[in-house]
Amino acid sequence: MSMFRRKIITEQPVEQRLARTLSWPHLVALGVGAIVGTGILTLIGVGADRAGPAVILSFVIAGAICACAALCYAEMATMIPASGSAYTYSYAVLGEVIAWVVGWSLILEYSLVVSTVAVGWSGYAVGFLNGLGIVVPAALANGPALGGVVNLPAVAIIAVVSGLLTLGTRESARINMILVLLKIATLALFVAVALPHFDAANLTPFAPYGYGSSAAAGGVKYGVMGAAAIIFFAFYGFDAISTAAEETKRPERDLAIGIVGSMLACTAIYMVVAATAVGAMSFTRFAKSPEPLALILRDLGSPGVATLVAAAAAIALPTVLLAFLYGQSRIFLVMARDGFLPVGLAKISARGTPVRITLLTAIFVAVIAGIAPLDTIASLANAGTLCAFIAVAACVLVLRRRDPRAPRPFRTPIAWVVAPAAILGCVYLFFSLQTVTQLWFFAWNGVGLAVYFAYGRRRATLAL
């Protein structure tokens, strides 16, 4: 029984099919909703702290690597229009054990992103309620790692978003689109207010910590590449679009538009916002702030606009939760179909949504958000995503060699350059992460392989 047996992708029985309700505008909004979130709102400060004004270049490098990966995703998603994203592509092209590692890494990525964003949203919500005179007890606003009992607001927002997802994919997509437009308007407001204060002197010295990746005290890595490895978090999210393949009306066209379109839109947004931020103020003044954009606006004499930006960000932040919770539930759905999770969880409701698996996913990430300490291991999400991106780029190359004449509704341009660039770029970013992150990632996948050999391999549908 080979560990590298490959899955043949077939259409699901009628009772297991998801409702096809999404078109390309929904997918672009899903991608932008996932990508534009805590990354640009907070990581621009972290990136500036590690790269100085050259954080602009860090955004360019991270965006270029993600763009190469996005082109690979677009080809695979249109060739294999099935749920499961990188997990499904790996199962069909590279073999079961590799698919398991990729799926296990995606669980890591999606769980930590949803949990981290939920905890971040909780901070905004508690502060907003305090401003209204409503005090949330510290025991119910923090997990045990911060001296509390449970982070109740984080659990609550996950419950709300998962409830929305169970109502139907079309309804979720409409609300997501409205919130995405609000998010873009918020960033446009920041640029409109801060750009007139642009001063080229704030860009000197441009790269005070160098262009590579050098470790400092505590294992933190500085330099343009060190910052790019963290800023990478701000770009991924387009992979959630590929999990919507079975719910897309015209997957052969709409998936490519959604993936590539959302990446192009977000790269443009990030570049404008990053250049505005480092040009309007010396990076040393906002590098350590958890809300760098609001801090810049307050220092520029626009406290009212700063409050508005912070409030709008808090309102729109659940779009990230929606996109990643949606993506993870679809990956769990496919793993249940493949026998790696109980098959009963793959049941589809009358509305064409996987209610059981969505609720299970919500409970899983709510537990993490409510009680787990995330400060040390949150960057593990980056490591899990890099693993998935490498696998998808490898799938493109393998299929180009194994089956060059297969129908490809979208073809990655100059694939033998773009796909290797995605692989090498992701490998370089992985080794630019902190050493502790790399060790945690290998430990996580060591546990995953133990689970596979003890349980998954013999329970897989292909083994029956």
pLDDT in tens, 334-376: 888 888 888 777 777 776 677 887 888 888 888 877 776 554 4
- Sort 379 into a burial class: Cβ within 10 Å, 0-12 / 13-18 / 19+: buried
What is the pTM assigned to this prediction?
A: 0.84
Q: How many residues does the chain have?
A: 464
The residue assigned the tokens 């931020």 is 277
pLDDT in tens, 264-280: 888 888 889 889 998 99
- For the chain, list the domains and their CATH numbers: 14-463 (1.20.1740.10)
Q: What share of the chain has pLDDT > 90, as a percent?
A: 19
Q: What's the confidence (pLDDT) of residue 438?
A: 86
Q: Is the pLDDT of residue 176 over 70?
A: yes
Q: What's the confidence (pLDDT) of residue 161?
A: 85
Q: Is the pLDDT of residue 462 over 70?
A: yes
pLDDT in tens, 293-313: 888 888 888 888 887 777 777
On whether the CB atoms of residues 114 and 328 are closer than 8 A, the answer is yes
